[in-house]
């Protein structure tokens, strides 16, 4: 059994993270989500020491992305934001970090006790860390 300060649960708002870089992701949303998943599997949460459990939440055209070792994929049946909030609430009692720049979602998950960081934390462009302000 994991202690309350056990593995950090990192919940990725896939659509928001993918959409944070204008690299043509809109032409192949599923492919963009798969590239994010693969980067997460390879790099984990850059700058974080210790074990993490990574959950990538996908929605819409990205549904159908398969999980890989190190990354669980949750296909939201409706709103991806709603599924992220559900995952945060289901994991009460353990540390949770949500990766998103969506202000409304940030408010919802911090109200449920999660910390928030912005997409740069997992994009691999040098800005890491978990800040409560989502930066």
The pLDDT tens digits of the residues spanning 78-109 come to: 999 999 999 999 999 999 999 999 999 999 99
CA dist 11 and 116 (Å) reads 9
Which phi and psi (to 5°) does residue 118 adopt? -85, 170
State if pTM tops 0.95.
Answer: no
Parallel, antiparallel, or unpaired for β 115-117 and 71-75? unpaired
The pLDDT tens digits of the residues spanning 42-85 come to: 999 998 888 999 999 999 999 999 999 999 999 999 999 999 99
Q: What is the pLDDT of residue 31?
A: 95
Contacts of 108 (CB under 8 A, 6+ apart): 81, 85
Asked if residues 121 and 100 have their Cβ atoms less than 8 Å apart, the reply is: no
Asked if residues 59 and 79 have their Cβ atoms less than 8 Å apart, the reply is: yes
Q: What is the pLDDT of residue 27?
A: 92
């Amino acid at each position: 059994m994991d202690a309350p300060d056990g593995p950090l649960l990192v919940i990725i708002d896939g659509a928001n993270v993918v959409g944070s870089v204008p690299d043509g992701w809109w032409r192949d949303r599923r492919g963009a989500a798969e590239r994010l998943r693969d980067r997460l599997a390879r790099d984990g949460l850059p700058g974080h020491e210790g074990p993490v459990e990574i959950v990538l939440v996908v929605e819409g055209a990205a549904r159908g992305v398969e999980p890989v070792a190190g990354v669980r994929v949750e296909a939201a049946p409706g709103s991806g934001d709603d599924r992220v909030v559900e995952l945060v609430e289901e994991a009460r009692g353990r540390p949770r970090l949500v990766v998103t720049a969506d202000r409304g979602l940030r408010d919802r998950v911090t109200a449920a006790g999660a910390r928030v960081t912005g997409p740069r934390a997992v994009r691999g462009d040098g800005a890491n860390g978990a800040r409560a302000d989502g930066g």
